[in-house]
Amino acid sequence: MPRTTHLPLSALLMIVAATACFTSLDVSVKYLSQRYPVPLLVWARWGMQVLVMTAVLGPTMRWGLVRTKQRKAHLVRGIVLIASSLSFFSALKFLPLAEATALNYSSPMIVTLMAATFLQERITIPRWAFVIAGFIGMILIVRPGSSMLTPASLLALASAALYATFQIMTRRLAGENSMVLLFFPALVGMLMMSALVPFLHYDTWFPIADVAMFVAIGAVGTLGHFLFILAFQRATVSAIAPFTYMQLVWSTLAGWLVFGTFPDAWTLAGIVTIAGSGVVLTWYERWRASLPLPEPAAVD
């Protein structure tokens, strides 16, 4: 189905559902990380995606899931994504859900700066305003000298930088099959974590509820990515991008309802600043129909 400049209801529902999937994944990770090592959670996340995609697409695509002439680039891209997952899951273990999510949403700002450096994309005045506003939002959340400036906050920011690098590498692989772009990093993650899991120390007895959540980490994350792809097939990035910030709403509500944490006034102002600057930039550039937009963030 061709992509259009307006936003069909189906694409809107898919993007809202995708952000809800990612928040559900993050809630499960935060809950399980109190009892299980983070690498085990990363292994479950990407291992399940490999299983789901192999079961669904394997019978028709077969080796097409990994067929590419740029295997080294895909390998490095996969390593970068897994490093981002390790950093973000580690941050989730210690930070409130909304704060961790908001800090990771600084990745579009970093993509904007990296695209100018590595892809020679021009940074317009509105984009500079977006970067500056996002940086202010980040400062409002972290607040140097406050209790939020912790190693966990730095891990969330490191995850954002790594995810931005992943997005720049994705742009360089434009033209590759979207299913290969989805499957290859998951395969890399599963293999890397499979080599590490035997050396981790954790209780080998898993309650049924925990097993269900381990499965959900991978299944729900995979579903979220599929919904993202389907949404992009139905509408442009400029139409979809503002609604990706729904994840900040979901994470704030989930943190309050599930974990009993709600952002203070400064943090809430930072979250609104990050989301608001992204939405305003998207609407402005959609109106001007100028440069390609930074990739929408999807905290996963």
Token representation of residue 171: 């742009």
Residue carrying structure tokens 């450096």: 117
Which stretches of the chain score pLDDT less than 50? Answer: 1-4
Note the pLDDT of residue 4.
Answer: 46
Spans of all domains in the chain:
9-288
Q: What is the value of pTM for the model shown?
A: 0.88
One-letter amino acid for residue 44 of the chain: A
Q: What is the pLDDT of residues 199-255, one digit of tens each?
A: 888 776 788 999 999 999 999 999 998 898 888 778 766 677 778 888 999 999 999
CA 131/CA 177 separation, integer angstroms: 31
Say what the alpha-carbon torsion angle 30, 103, 139, 127 is, to the nearest 10 degrees.
-170
Using DSSP's 3-state secondary structure scheme, residue 182 falls into helix
Computed on alpha carbons and rounded to an integer, the radius of gyration of the chain in Å comes to 19
